[in-house]
Amino acid sequence: MPEPRPILKPAGNRVTFDNVPKHKNHNHVKTPPRPRNLPPQIPNAVTESNVSLDSTCSPDSCSSNSTPKTVNPATATASRRSVNRNGFKPVRVVPDAVDVATTVSPPPKRCEWITPHSDPLYTAFHDEEWGVPVNNDRKLFELLVFSQALAEHSWSTILNQRDIFRKLFENFDPSSVAQFTEKKLLTLKRNDSSLLSEPKLRAIVENAKQLLKVQREFGSFSNYCWRFVNHKPIRNEFRYGRQVPAKTPKAEVISKDMMRRGFQCVGPTVVYSFLQVAGLVNDHLLTCFRHQECNVTTKNEFKTEVKESNKLQNETSELR
């Protein structure tokens, strides 16, 4: 019998052997033909698992040696649609939550002479005291002394020695400072020579004496100072530090009146510094957060202060 010869048929390239006898009683069971539109059968192990066919059954993902291929968007879309039609929903990967950084509010805008490198005491003084209207006589006397000391020291130096100033000048009690003798002045000069010069020390003692006279005449040193501005702070609206003056005509008027009364070391520059720090003048820049906060003092508060001062003045006159 001749050897069987393989024949390639056009229908399916299935190899058959010619001249092979067909037996009628052959135990071969024919597989029934499969409908064309049915999807391929999938094992139960795959259907029971919650895994996408796109991610587990694709040739690219199963073959570790395969080269990555460029995926056509149209093909990928068609593949997803076919999976959805077959009843399998792709697994959606949800990324981990990303922590959102907490937003930090920027520091408040201050006057331009306060920088990030400024002394913390100076910054706190600017935020809490400078430009706040003051009506207390002891506080006004303290700020007048500090304004005089600015001719020899900076604000940072003065504020760092503030406790020393208060100790030397009896907590800025004018009646106590006015009683300083020549021996007391020499002791201050000898023990604290770096604090203030001798002329400044003598001027402070003399100014305390004159302040007591002003209290007797006007009821209080506060009433004397605030009457120059009609008991209402002068509110300047400077936008830049270069616009803030060193002295003004108002400061010159006050300086002349104080010198006429016997005050010493009270030139127009010293007086204007005193007006600024005591709140008689609001020179915080418009861009500074303290500009508006220092405008909270109302006319009623000053009217009350005037009434109290006038009452005290009348009582003093009656005692005379």
Residue 117 counted as an annotated binding residue: no
Q: CA-to-CA distance for 280 and 248, rounded, in angstroms?
A: 13
Q: CA-to-CA distance for 158 and 153, rounded, in angstroms?
A: 7
Q: CA-to-CA distance for 309 and 224, rounded, in angstroms?
A: 9
Q: Which of 47, 251, 276, 30 is nearest to 140 (CA)?
A: 276
Note the maximum CA span of the chain.
Answer: 159
Phi, psi of 141 (to 5 degrees): -65, -40
Residue 288 counted as an annotated binding residue: yes
Amino acid at 121: L
Residue 111 counted as an annotated binding residue: yes
Q: CA-to-CA distance for 92 and 53, rounded, in angstroms?
A: 12
Residue 62 counted as an annotated binding residue: no
Q: Are 156 and 119 within 8 A, CB to CB?
A: yes
Q: Are 126 and 138 within 8 A, CB to CB?
A: no
Q: Are 140 and 276 within 8 A, CB to CB?
A: no
> How many helices, marked H, and strands, marked E, lie in the chain?
16, 4
Q: CA-to-CA distance for 169 and 278, rounded, in angstroms?
A: 19
Residues of the binding site: 111, 126, 284, 288
Residues of the binding site for Zn(2+): 111, 126, 284, 288
